[in-house]
Amino acid sequence: MTTAVAAPFRFFALQVVTTRRLGHCLVRVTFAGPELRHFRSGGRDQSLSLFLPHPGQDAPVVPLELGDNWWQGWRELPGDVRAVMRSYTLRGLRADAEGRTTEIDIDFVLHGVSEEAGASAEAGPASRWAARAATGDRVLLLGPAIADNRAIRFRPPEDTDLVLLWADETALPATAAVLETLPAGTRARVWVEVPHSGDVQDLVTDADADITWFVRERSPAPGQDSPMALDELRAAQLPAGSRPYVWIAGEAGCVKQLRRHFVGERGIDRRRVTFVGYWRRGLTEEQLRDEA
């Protein structure tokens, strides 16, 4: 398996350029800033940390003057002062003729926010920010300065002849980015679970990809703890003698069940299964961080 470079990460001061609604619960925000010329990424499921301001703040508060001790200083700030930190996937980037990054895209899931009713009491601070983001709004990004870095998790072994992907809406941006990198001739089976039919997208890929969508609004048990795709996955026939690589990302409980299926029920080598819990039902990212 390919080994990632233990790349240094750095802060980038950015501003919102544009926003675009992608579906019922997804919005794409494009960011730019002079410091992006130092940003490098190999794409795929590149993970980033985004720092957002609270309402009434002009910019996110992160004590960068503390240097390497910024994390401890940030944790010690009052909760209503320190910047809101959330993890996201790089959806896309654009560069100039010299290869310097000029813009990046991040897709936000708007939990508890609708175009019709606005933000509900269930909406978190990042969803509220993304729903009202406007040109010029300031953020901080903690991201890579080297393209091949340890925050890219999608790394199929060289002998892979079948790619299997499962994602919920939080991992949809990463799934779309991964599919765009797969070369022609690659066989892929993809299962994506989203909350609304309006969140189904046309995913672009040169791969020979079979993509199945599951829409929770059609389910008799919304909010269920098991992934809707589990029964179909159990029934799916994989090519005999194939050497699959599995990538699973989304709600931690669902990811755990699916990993158990692929490793325990199908006997796929656990070293060929990448699984990432992007969130956990009933817990905020702050609570997850406190548990770590």
pLDDT (0 to 100) of residue 111:
76
Residue 119 pLDDT greater than 70, yes or no: no
Q: Among 30-39, 64-73, 126-135, 212-221, which is the least confidently predicted range? A: 212-221
Question: pLDDT per residue over 40-87, tens digit each?
Answer: 999 999 999 999 999 999 999 999 999 999 999 999 999 999 999 999
How far apart are the C-alpha atoms of 74 and 63, rounded to whole Å?
Answer: 6
| Contact call for residues 238 and 162 (beta carbons, < 8 A) | yes
pLDDT band, residue 142 (cuts 50/70/90): very high
Sheet of 162-168, strand order:
208-215, 187-194, 162-168, 244-251, 273-279
The answer to whether residue 291 scores a pLDDT higher than 70 is no
The residue-averaged pLDDT of 255-278 equals 96
For the chain, give the mean pLDDT. 90
Q: Left, alpha or beta for 260 (phi > 0: left; psi -120 to 50: alpha)?
A: alpha
Q: What is the reported pLDDT for 222?
A: 39
- Would you state the pLDDT for residue 117? 43
pLDDT at res. 160: 97
Q: How far apart are CA 283 and CA 292, in angstroms?
A: 13
Give 159: exposed, middle or buried? Use CB within 10 Å, 0-12, 13-18, 19+: exposed
Tell me the residue ranges of DSSP E strands in 79-170.
84-95, 101-109, 113-114, 118-119, 138-144, 162-168
Q: Are strands 244-251 and 162-168 parallel, antiparallel or unpaired?
A: parallel
Work out the percent of the chain whose per-residue pLDDT is above 90.
77
Q: Residue 185: is its pLDDT beyond 60?
A: yes
Q: What is the mean pLDDT of residues 117-136?
A: 79
- pLDDT band of residue 5 (cuts 50, 70, 90) is low
Please determine, for residue 156, whether its predicted confidence score (pLDDT) is greater than 90: yes
- Give the pLDDT confidence score for residue 217 in this predicted structure: 78
The residue type at 12: F
Q: Which of 289, 233, 285 is CA-nearest to residue 264?
A: 233
Q: Which is more confidently placed, 8 or 115?
A: 8
Which of 220 and 7 is assigned the larger pLDDT?
A: 7
Encoded amino acid at 239, one letter: P
What is the pTM assigned to this prediction?
Answer: 0.90
Which helix (H) or strand (E) is 290 found in, with range?
Answer: helix 285-291
CB 261 within 8 A of CB 247: no
CA-derived radius of gyration, the chain? 19
Output the six-digit token pair for 234: 């159990």
Q: How far is CA 21 from the centre of its chain?
A: 17
Check residue 207 and report its DSSP letter: S
Give the rounded percent of residues in the chain with a pLDDT score beyond 70: 87
